[in-house]
Structure formats: C-alpha cells, structure tokens
A and B are shown apart, each in its own frame.
Chain A
Amino acid sequence: MEYQDEDHLCFTMEEFALATENVSSRQRMSRKRNYDDDTRVYKSKNLEIERRRREKLSTRLLMLRSINPIITNMNRGTIIVDAITYIEKLQHEVQRLSQELHQLEATSEKTAEAKVDEIDAVEDMKHWGIQAEVRVAQIDENKLWVKIIIEKKRGRFSKLMEALNNFGIELIDTNFTTTKGAFLITSCIQVKDGERLEIHQSKSLLQEIINDISSKSE
C-alpha cells in the first residue's frame, strides 16, 4: 500500500513538473518576439514608438527648415521661431500687394477712358442702312410703347435714362441692345403720377431729348 502511495505521489510530482515546464516554455515563446535574435536584448514597445515619434518630428522640422529661407540656427526652437517670422513677413507682403491691387483698380478706371476705342457709329449705321428714329404707339390711356434707334456712343444710354427720369417718365419693361453702330431701345413707358400720355407729345419730347443728348455728346 505504501509503495502504491509513493508511486502515486511520484507520478503527481512528475505531472506538476511537466505542467510548470509547459507554462514557462509558453511564457518564453511569448516573450521571444521582444528579443533581438543576435544580442538577446529585451526591447520595449514604448521605446520603439517614442523613437518613431522623435524621428517623425525631426524630419518634419527639417522639412520646415528647408522651406524657410531665413535660417539663424539649427536648434529646434530657432527653426520654429524662424518659421514664425517668415510667415509674418509673408502676411505683410500679402497686405501690401492687396493694397497695391486696390490702388491699381482705382487708377485703371481713369486711364482706361483714354484707351477706349470709339466706333464711328454714324458711318457704321450708314453702311448698314440704319437710321435714327423714334416710334411711339399707344397701349393704354397712360401707357405707351416706344422704339428708339440712336447712334452708339458711350454714356448715351445713361443720359437718356436720366432725362426720362427728370421728365417723370418710368420705363416699365425695357429691352436695349447694340447692333451695327446703333442702340436699339424698345420699352413700355408711363408717367410716374399716372397722367394720360399723348402719342404726339411723347414723340416730340423723346425726339427733343435725343437731339439734346446728341448735340451735347458732339
């Protein structure tokens, strides 16, 4: 009986030894990944990540330094300071150039007037057989349809609009186009106060306005 117990005890001890050996070997296997094969030195994952982060940072700082033409020192701090000063310089440059652009816009408006090529409208109209005319037709008691053909010259349309406005004539719907050296204006007109419009009166008034504009521009 004693022998049997001893055998049993021995068996259990052997089993225990085997089990512990398996565990330790498993641990060794899992740790093997962090060992370098040649040197058998343990590697920390955190150190690897930190090294990679530092490398990234240094390469990016070098990139920043390569872009920046103003370099005083190779320190990390000075690289950043130089970059800041360069950006500020560029911002000032942008402001200066935008101001210059605004000034150029203002001056170009004045100088462009001299460069404008005025078409000899009268010759063009004669060539195409277009004649200056004013036609008026009644639509309603206080509404007229108007067709005006005049020579194409700068500022004439604005002068015509101003004159009509001064006489209290309102353009309800307007169609204005330029063709072959002439302005063609077709519109419905009415008096702002809602007064009755006479065809002949309106026609003579429009003719007067156009003649006045033509004489002033010449």
Chain B
Amino acid sequence: MMRRRHEGEADEGDFSTLQEPDQYSENLRSSWIRRKSKDTEVDVRIVDNEVTIKLVQRKKIDCLVHVSHLLDQLNLDLQHVAGGHIGDFCSYLFNTKICEGSSLYASAIAHKLIQVMDTSFAAASLA
C-alpha cells in the first residue's frame, strides 16, 4: 500500500506495506448449487459448517412454515432469516449452521427444498 507524503514529513517511511494476513492452514469445505423448478428457485452455499439458503418462490403458500420444518429435519440450526413478499413472489435468505455429527451437501439440501416446495405448492393449488 502506498500512502501520500504529507508536507513536512521526513523522507523515511514514505511507503508502508500492509502485511498479508496469514493463510488458512486448514482447507475449508465449501459447496454451492443453484436449482430451479417451475415455481421455486433455490440457491444453497455451504462454507465450512455454515449454510446459506436463498429461496425465491411464487406467493401462493406460506413457505416459511415448510422451510423451517425441513431445516429442523435436516438438523440445520437456524441463525438468521430475512425476507418477505415482493410483488407476486416471496424471497427469503436463511443463514443456518450444520449441527455436529451431521453431514450435508448443497445438492441434497437444494433437492429436498425443491421437493418440499413443489409438493406443498401442488397441495395448495388442489385445495
């Protein structure tokens, strides 16, 4: 990094370098997948033991109910949820943590989410 020399500053120390942060000694486990069905779009990212899920869906069913149940089934500890209705769609972002002893993959989470949303969607449309 280069910093400007101020007036009256000595010649010494014109340039100060920022040290590079220590590289991670351990390799972080990470995976990412995006799945799409007719009415649902799911984006799942896993970094180490943290899972971020982005869900966009047509506003016909209360998806929070179904998603929260599924997260309990998958042993994902819910940390943060943000989102709501935007026009004809509902969009949510879920931050979760994988519980100890559980092994999950982004593809499995995305597949199950799509499955749950589509089945509940079909049930709602029949009703």
B47 adjacent to chain A (CB < 8 Å)? no
- How many residue pairs at the A-B interface have CB separations less than 8 Å? 76
B65 adjacent to A112 (CB under 8 Å): no
Give the residues from 71 to 118 in chain B that come closer than 8 angstroms, CB to CB, to chain A. 71-75, 77-85, 92, 99-105, 108
What are the residues of chain A within 8 A of B39 when measuring CB–CB?
none
Expressed in whole angstroms, the Cα–Cα distance for A113 and B62 within the complex equals 26
Query: Residues of A contacting B84 with CB < 8 Å?
Result: 171-174, 188
* Docked-complex contact A162 and B80, CB < 8 angstroms: no
A86 at the interface (CB under 8 A from B): no
Q: Which residue of B lies closest to A169 (CB)?
A: B62
CA distance A176 to B67 in the complex (A): 14
Interface status of B122 (Cβ within 8 A of chain A): no
Query: Which stretch from A8-16, A27-35, A66-74, A150-158 is at the chain B interface?
Result: A150-158
Given contacts A165-B65, A175-B82, contact A154 B101 (CB under 8 A): no
Q: How far is the CA of A177 from the CA of B78 in the complex (A)?
A: 8
**A134 to B101 CA separation, bound complex (whole angstroms):** 35
Stretch of A87-95, A102-110, A124-132 on the interface side: A102-110
Query: Chain B contacts of A162 at CB under 8 A?
Result: 65, 69
- Give CA–CA (A176, B99) in the complex, Å: 19
A111 to B102, CA, bound (A): 8
28 A-B pairs with CB atoms under 8 Å apart are A108-B103, A109-B74, A109-B102, A111-B101, A112-B75, A112-B99, A112-B101, A113-B75, A115-B101, A116-B99, A116-B100, A116-B101, A155-B72, A157-B81, A158-B65, A158-B72, A161-B65, A162-B69, A171-B62, A172-B84, A172-B85, A173-B85, A174-B64, A174-B82, A174-B84, A175-B81, A176-B82, A178-B78
Q: Would you call B119 an interface residue if the criterion is a C-beta within 8 Å of the partner chain's C-beta atoms?
A: no
Does B31 touch A at the CB level, under 8 Å?
A: no
B-facing mask of A160-172, CB < 8 A → 1, else 0?
0110010000111
The reply to whether B75 and A116 form a contact with Cβ atoms under 8 Å apart is yes
